[in-house]
A and B are shown apart, each in its own frame.
Chain A
Amino acid sequence: MENEPIKEGNENNISIDITKIPITTNGFKWTFTSTFLYLFLHIFSLIMPTVMILTFFSFAMDSNIFHWRILLIFIDIMAWWGSYLLISLLLGKLILIILKLIHKPVEGLFRIEKKNPEYCYFCLRITIKKFIFWIWNNFCFPWVSNFAFKMCDVSADFKSTMFDGWSDVEFIEYGNNIMIGQGAQIFSSIIIRIENQDYLLIKKVIIGDHVVLGGNSIVSPGTIIGKGTTLGVWTITHINQILEPNWIYFGSPARKYQPAQKIIEESKKQAMRRIVDTGEKIPYDVNQFLENKNENREISL
């Protein structure tokens, strides 16, 4: 692959090549206010479950530990945990609605300063969403966080696997049935340094149906990914990149590698095994385990 940057928007003689902007990290930073808010929310969402736990003994079991009711404790534990989840979501959602009414979230390029209202409200919104997602991701079924995504105005359906990666929680539109690989990241906001001053860029990311984001890949703000496209491992998309449907993309910034259809045809051919030391390729029978399944469970050359 050649290292030719893709130029865009040259008509107005814009000298900045946006493909060269370093993709860093999302601009969120914990301030004292957000820490306080975070603790406050945690404390309030814990009140209900602790009341349930502390009164369980005297009310449910007649103060006698050898009561039969103890055998049903797993139902109670799920109820305590569930009430914790739901109350956290309700509280978080309530404060999010209030914050939205005070200051409407918009896309743009903002200066990172304590006085800038755009940045302050951005931090507060992310704090509350972090609180919600911390609780939901620590639940014993991690995929329930899809529900939390839905409630936080990020469209996501239940068949998507989203809990293995890091995803920003606003200005993202997910399609149906997407797959986020281990450690993949979707940024809708990053820091850009202009003249030694940090700026926060917020731009919407749109991801189509059945998209697969490979492990440790990074999606930058403003990216649009068409349906059925796969992003390879370690791939970075640049700001405002548009990926066509049904292709496999690879590299940094992402370039077309091959159509997704081609791989299906290729996999029907003879499988080859490559020996790393010599570079030699030898044919490999992929169906060798299917017949004597129970006897041979090891892989052998």
Chain B
Amino acid sequence: MGAQLPLIWLWYFWQYFLILDLIFYILFPFAFFFGIILLIINSAIIARIFLIFINLIHKPREGVFLRHKSDIDYCFWSLRALVRKWPTWLARQLSLPLLEILVLKILGVKTSFSNSLHEGWIDCEFIKFGRNVRIGQGTLIISNIIINNKLILKKVNIQNNVIIGAHSIVLPGTIIESNSILDAISMTKINQKLERNSIYRGNPAIKVEDVEFINNYEQLREAIFDRRILGKYDKENLKSHVKELSVPFHFYIITGWLIIGCSFILPGFIFFFFLFIILLPNVFSIPFSLNLFSDLKIPILLLITPLIIMTLYILHLFFVALFTKWFYSIADKRGPTHGVYDRKLDESSRMLNYYHFSSFLFKYPIFAIIRSPFPWLLNWELRFIGSNKIGKGTVFEDTFFHSHINFGRNCYIGTFSHISNHLVDGVYGEENLTFFGVNIGNNCVFSLSNGAMPGLKMADIN
């Protein structure tokens, strides 16, 4: 729906250059970017209209709800999250924070253009920001959390001039008063109130110091830029003279190229066919006027175009998964299963080469799907490649993924949590590589920013 306006704009733009000349090619990227910005703002507005209708049917409220289909609040919360997903994803992709804040404002978050929020991850409802708030990379500010089978929704309020460090987590119900600092890697409790002008640290966050404790610019500068510190350090401690591990890069590049390139053949064919045979003669080269909407052909084509582009994108992702599956099954058959291996530099191990190769193969399809607008396809893709077993109803937020990790039914893996299937330890040159799969039972919940090590086994929750 949101794509209609930019398409009409492109049509309008195309009008002026029926003979495709130099000026057209130079101006086209401008028109293209303008179209994208139009698309983002337009889809945000449409999402907002949807939200208004949904809120009319059922008013969003704070509280503790059951994580089950029978709870009406839970259902409407999921629906609202779904509607918000597409515009926020689009705004995030272009990595233009001003646009992102504009989209957040359209979606109803109280924020200001002087904030910098784009590096972290924030929820889009029940959140209120003051002015000049800065949050670090990987910070999570959430107003909803799933604990066991309960969903908690509560308002978060962050006031002026607050700085939140990298990888911190702000839980629902937190109030951070103005001028405070939350240190890196700390976590607030639910309903915690952080006082003004203070520095908080730890898990849960405890007041350590007043902001005023750093008060002398000259002293601090002297302390940090003390030349004696560098003088003490031996440069030899930085360079090592061991033999390097050999990695067959040429082999990786060829397979990667084959997988990605071949996945473009069919979508590319359809794209060119659609653009040059159908769209150009029927829409773009017809003189632009709004009267033409009386002819049914043009509105239908305009409606179909975004659908076709989406389908092509999904087709591309499907082919990536298909080709990866073939290569992966070869690498997996010849590679190691589980165990502890020596990563020796002197002898080349065929097992290890296949292990490295399979984890290389695994990277792109996951990367492509998680960054696409359809992250829920991940479950299908992993089952399709055959690397993981994933039960029905399992939900993944923005996570890092590995092979040989099996999930039961109805699991929930929170944002930035990370379950690993391998571990490297030791001194370079005589390292150990521990490679073990993970089994996770039914109904398990991984909360935010959690980690799990190889060889974990989790029982079911009933």
Contacts and interface: CB of A to CB of B under 8 A. Distances in A.
A171 B273 CA distance: 49
Contacts of B437: 297-299
A206 to B, nearest CB: 7
Contacts of B199: 22
A263 B426 contact: yes
Contact of A264 (B26, B371, B432): B432
B269 interface: yes
A263 B425 contact: yes
Main secondary structure of the interface of B (DSSP, over half): mixed
B167 interface: yes
B389 to A, nearest CB: 9
B104 to A, nearest CB: 14
Nearest to B139: A25
B439 to A, nearest CB: 6
B238 A208 contact: yes
Contacts of A159: 244-245, 247
B223 interface: yes
A287 interface: yes
B436 interface: yes
A287 B425 CA distance: 18
Contacts of A196: 179, 211
B239 A70 contact: no
B183 A23 contact: yes
Nearest to B332: A297
Contacts of A23: 165-166, 183-184
Nearest to A25: B136
A74 B428 contact: no
A142 B424 contact: no
Contacts of A50: 25, 28-29, 32
Interface in B390-440: 400, 406, 416, 418, 424-428, 430-432, 434, 436-439
Interface in B256-276: 256-257, 260-262, 264-265, 268-269, 272-273, 275-276
Contacts of A63: 276
B224 A227 contact: no
A124 interface: no
Contacts of A21: 214
Interface string B83-122: 0000000000001111000000000000000001011000
Interface string B213-240: 1111101111111101100110001111
A124 to B, nearest CB: 15
A22 B201 CA distance: 8
Contacts of B449: 216
A290 B257 contact: no
B451 A51 contact: no
Nearest to A39: B33
B189 interface: no
Interface string A141-157: 11000000000000000
Given A25-B166, A43-B30, A260-B427, A289 B239 contact: no
B172 interface: no
Interchain residue pairs A-B with the least CB separation, the first 3? A74-B261, A25-B136, A210-B428
Given A109-B224, A166-B138, 5 more contacts: A24-B134, A24-B165, A42-B33, A141-B364, A187-B166
22 contacts: A9-B229, A15-B219, A25-B134, A25-B184, A29-B134, A30-B98, A32-B98, A39-B33, A57-B272, A74-B268, A77-B264, A142-B367, A185-B137, A193-B181, A195-B212, A199-B217, A208-B240, A209-B238, A210-B240, A215-B451, A218-B184, A289-B338
